[in-house]
Every structure is written in structure tokens, then in C-alpha cells.
Chain A
Amino acid sequence: MSSVLYDAQGPRARRRNVVLTVVFLVALAALLWWVYKALKDKGQLEWALWEPFFSGSEAWTTYIWPGLQNTLKAAALAMIIALPLGAVLGIARLSDHAWVRIPAATVVEFFRAIPVLVLMIFGLALFAEYTAVSSDDRPLYAVVTGLVLYNASVLAEIVRAGILALPKGQSEAAMAIGLRKGQLMRLILLPQAVTAMLPAIVSQLVVIVKDTALGGAVLTYAELLAAAGTMSGYYGGNIIQSLIVVSVIFIVLNFALTSFASWLERRLRQAKKSTGAVVGANDAQIAGTTGTGTGGTV
């Protein structure tokens, strides 16, 4: 195999590869053995601690599934509310009028610079102090508020990148046939930009799903991670096992979303009908280097 870094390999390089493989294998085995021993010494490999997840469905129906539902609920709500807000902010940032463009840019840069957790804590206190939302619903409201404030500004950058990624000929042709600015945006740019943005939007969904876990750990929102906590209390302190199961669920869910996003991106890049403009998972931050970075899907 040849790449930009190395050429097709000859006999000496292949021999060196075998040596490296063996050394690496030994190191990996040592690490796994250490993990195994640590778990074994503390009795963490006892079947009783793992059993709840494999025999019977109680753990899944009482703890994991309701937790996962809450995770998905918060993520879906956040995405649905953040999308239109982000679209408005993104389009406003492209406005010809400075009095529209500058405030939109300020809002976007401000909320991108602040940690989601800070926004969530703010949301929780805000709902407690100024609204009649019951204390049961408050964590959900706070989590969604934090996620919406942050992700609307990230989506705004994605929308902006999507519109800027379109070939200039599109707007020139539209203006040449006499469309007005609103029509140009509504009929020509947005429909094409939405398709181009789809991969980036799906990738952002991964970030949202991961960030809901903050609500469970800090805001007492009963999502998947919080479910792991209550579950381990019920099953006699199998916190390691519960966290591993929860992690696997997060990995499967997010890996599916990531794979879907890259499949979409590949498909859109190959599509013959489109203009070929695509905003991938990491393109929005590159287009928006004017201020703070979004951190992509970090």
C-alpha cells in the first residue's frame, strides 16, 4: 500500500512491520491484562453485576429505555427548535444591511464561545425564577434551552457555509432573470443549501445527543446517563457495568448517525444533478474562521 507518507513496501520494510506489530501486540496485551486484573481484583467481573443486562428485560424496560427516550426527546426537541432559529441567524448574518448583519454575528459568536453547561445552568435558574414551569419539567426545559442557544448559533454557521458554498453563478443567474433578494434566497439559494447542509446537520445531531448527558450529570434530567446511576444503585453498585452498557448504546447511536452523515456527504458529492456544493461535518468551522471555532463535532 502506498500513500502520501510512504511508498510501496519492500522486504525490509515488511520485516520491520512484523516487528512493530509484535511489539504493539505485546503492549496491547499487557494493557488488557492490567485492565482484566484490576477488574478481577475488585470483583467487577462477577456475573451477578452483569446479569441484569443479559437475563430478563427488567433493566432495559425500567431504566435504560426510559432514559434513552428522554435523551432522544431532549435531542429531538433541541434540533427542531434550533434549526429554524439557526436558519434565521445564518441568513441574517449574510444580510446586506449592517444593522441586521452585525447583531446576528454578535449573537452567533457569543453563544458559540460559551460552554453548553453554562447555558444549561443559566436556563435552569431562569425557569426557576421567572416562570411557572414545574420543578419536574425544569431540567428538560433547561437542557433544551442550553442546547438550543448553543446549537442555533452553530447551525447558523452551517447555514451560512451552505449558502456560501453554492456557485456564484446561481445568484447571478437569479438576479439576471430579475428575482428580488427575498426570492433569490427563498427560491434559489435555500433549497440548494439545505441539501448541501444535510451531512453537517446530521453530524451536529451527534453533538446534541452527547451533550444531553450533561443534563443527566449536572441538572438531574432523567436521561440515559442518569438512568445508569439509578440502575447501579438498584442492582447493588454495578456502576462500571452500567456505564459500559450506556456507553455502548451511545456509541451505536452516534456511530449510526456519523455513518449516515458521511454516506449522505459521499452521495451528495457524487450526485450529478446538484451543483456539487456540500457542507461536511468539519466544513462549517472552516468557512466561519472569522471568530471562534465551533469545535466541529467535539
Chain B
Amino acid sequence: MRRPAERRTRVSLYAEAREIVFDFLEGYDLLGAFWTTVQLAALSAVGSLVWGTLLAAMRVGPVPLMRGFGTAYVNIVRNIPLTVIILFTSLGLNQTLGVSLGADDVETINFRLAVLGLIFYTSSFVCEALRSGINTVPVGQAEAARAIGLNFNQVLGLVVLPQAFRSSVVPLANVLIALIKNTTVAAAIGVAEAAVLMKEMIENEAQLLLISAIIAFGFVVLTLPTGLILGWVGKKVAVKR
């Protein structure tokens, strides 16, 4: 009849150990911080996909002025550190020029500014990813399409763009992963995401390695499946040449 008792001790010991090790987590909104990270990433991803696609359209289009604008935008923006851009949105746009993006409280303003900065920066990489996809389509494909009598819309819609999008999946996935990691830069203007929480926890608690491991694990959970799934999709849809 010793077994249940033994089991009870083991369970309570385990609970006690867990309490000692993870006790410090109480009072910190770990899930909330990562939720902010996810929100930052998702909103910026949608925004930079839209603006990046427009930029790519300008860069590959027939109008010289738009091509020039697209090229200049990409070459300027991707060479500025994201940190400088995000700080500029807060110190320059908000505090000096009074842009508040329709929000009243500091937290919402900073969140929106961070999204704006992330979109401004990431769209240049989205543009390049899409362009690299278009560049993989051999000119012969379009020439053959025209030769069999397809009109402009058919050439683009049936032949060129489907191939271009398929080759853009992997580069776009890489941009998305980088974007997820780049959301931490919003810490520079105090958006309460994972990196800010990590800094706060490290300052107040003693478990440096454990805290770092938890935060790192959170990012691995966000980025690794994204990379694996989209990498698999990319390989699946890639045009074999």
C-alpha cells in the first residue's frame, strides 16, 4: 500500500520544483507580449505586401519615372537601419511633427508608429522578392505567349505572373521571417513586445538563462514553423526549369 503515498510525494515534489523554477513568471504577461509581437508582424506583413507589390509594379513597369522612383526608394530604404526608421517615426514624426496616426494614448500611438516604420522598411524587401520572382521567368515564355496570339492581359495573367508568384514564395517567406524577428526593434520606442518584456524580466529576476531560453523559445515557435511550412510550399509550387 505504499505506492499511492509515494506517488503523491513525487507529484507534490514536482509541483514544488515547478513553483520554485517558474514562480518568477507570475506578474509578467508573457503571452500578451508575444501577442503584441504577432500583431506587429501580421499588420506589417499585410501593409508591406500591399506597398511592396505596388513598388514592384512600378519597378518593372514601362513608365521611366515610376521605375526611377521604385529603384530609388528600394536603394535608399533598405540601406537605412530599421532602428533609425523606427526611432524617426517616434522622435521625428510624432514628437516633433505631431503625427499621431489617429490615436490618443501613447501606447497605441507607438504601436501604430512601429507598424508604419516596419511597413516602410519591409516593403523594399518585398519589392525585391517579387522582382526576383519575375526575373526567374525567361523572356522566351512571354515571347512564345505573344507568338500564339495572347493579348497583354493574357500574357501576364496566364503565363508570366503565375510563374513569377510561384518563384517568389521562398524569398517572400524569408522576408516574413525577418519581419517577425524585426518586430523586436519596436522595443526602441517602447512598444510592449517580447524584447521589452525580456529586458524587464532580466532586470528584476535572477534567472537570466531561463528567461532568455523562454523568450528564445517563443521566437523559435514563431519563426521555425513559418520557415518550414512556407519553404515546403515554395518547393512544392516552384517551377522546375
- Is A177 on the interface with B (CB-CB < 8 A)? no
Question: Which of B65, B99, B141, B170 is A4 in contact with, Cβ under 8 Å?
Answer: B141
Chain B nearest Cβ from A122, distance in angstroms: 5
Contacts of B62 in A (CB 8 A): 1, 6, 9, 13, 17
- Is B50 on the interface with A (CB-CB < 8 A)? no
Are B80 and A24 neighbours in the complex by a CB distance under 8 Å? no
Are A24 and B63 neighbours in the complex by a CB distance under 8 Å? yes
CB-contacts of B109-152 with A (<8 A):
122, 125, 132, 134, 137-139, 141-142, 146, 152
Interface readout for B213-241 with A: 1 if CB under 8 Å, 0 if not?
Answer: 00110011001101110010011000000
Are B174 and A295 neighbours in the complex by a CB distance under 8 Å? yes
The total of chain B residues at the interface (CB under 8 A) is 73
Interface secondary structure of B, over-half rule: helix
Given contacts A21-B63, A291-B224, contact A6 B152 (CB under 8 A): yes
Are B188 and A214 neighbours in the complex by a CB distance under 8 Å? yes
A4 to B152, CA, bound (A): 11
Are A286 and B208 neighbours in the complex by a CB distance under 8 Å? no
Are B84 and A243 neighbours in the complex by a CB distance under 8 Å? yes
- Is A30 on the interface with B (CB-CB < 8 A)? no
Are A211 and B91 neighbours in the complex by a CB distance under 8 Å? no
- Is A81 on the interface with B (CB-CB < 8 A)? no
Contacts of B43 in A (CB 8 A): none
Chain B nearest Cβ from A237, distance in angstroms: 8
Are B219 and A285 neighbours in the complex by a CB distance under 8 Å? no
Question: Which of B92, B132, B142, B177 is A239 in contact with, Cβ under 8 Å?
Answer: B92
Are B96 and A44 neighbours in the complex by a CB distance under 8 Å? yes
Contacts of B146 in A (CB 8 A): 7
Contacts of A100 in B (CB 8 A): none
Are B224 and A109 neighbours in the complex by a CB distance under 8 Å? yes
Nearest CB in chain A to that of B92: its residue:
A240
Chain B nearest Cβ from A270, distance in angstroms: 18
Segment of A90-98, A112-120, A164-172 in the binding face: A112-120
Interface readout for A11-50 with B: 1 if CB under 8 Å, 0 if not?
Answer: 0010001001100110010000000001100101000000
Are A291 and B227 neighbours in the complex by a CB distance under 8 Å? yes
A87 to B69, CA, bound (A): 39
Contacts of B216 in A (CB 8 A): 110, 114, 118
Segment of B5-13, B23-31, B178-186 in the binding face: B178-186
- Is A289 on the interface with B (CB-CB < 8 A)? yes
14 A-B pairs within 8 Å (CB atoms) are namely A4-B138, A17-B63, A24-B65, A24-B69, A125-B212, A206-B79, A210-B80, A214-B81, A240-B88, A285-B171, A290-B231, A292-B224, A292-B227, A298-B175
Chain B positions near chain A (C-beta within 8 angstroms): 60-66, 69, 75-76, 78-84, 87-88, 91-92, 95-99, 122, 125, 132, 134, 137-139, 141-142, 146, 152, 156, 160, 170-171, 173-175, 177-179, 181-185, 187-188, 194-195, 198-199, 202, 208, 212, 215-216, 219-220, 223-224, 226-228, 231, 234-235
Chain A positions near chain B (C-beta within 8 angstroms): 1, 3-7, 9, 13, 17, 20-21, 24-25, 28, 38-39, 42, 44, 109-110, 113-118, 121-122, 125-126, 129, 206, 209-214, 216-218, 225, 237, 239-240, 243, 246-247, 250-251, 253-255, 258, 282, 285-286, 289-298
The 7 A-B pairs with the shortest beta carbon distances in the complex, nearest first, are A295-B178, A293-B174, A298-B178, A292-B227, A213-B81, A254-B79, A217-B188
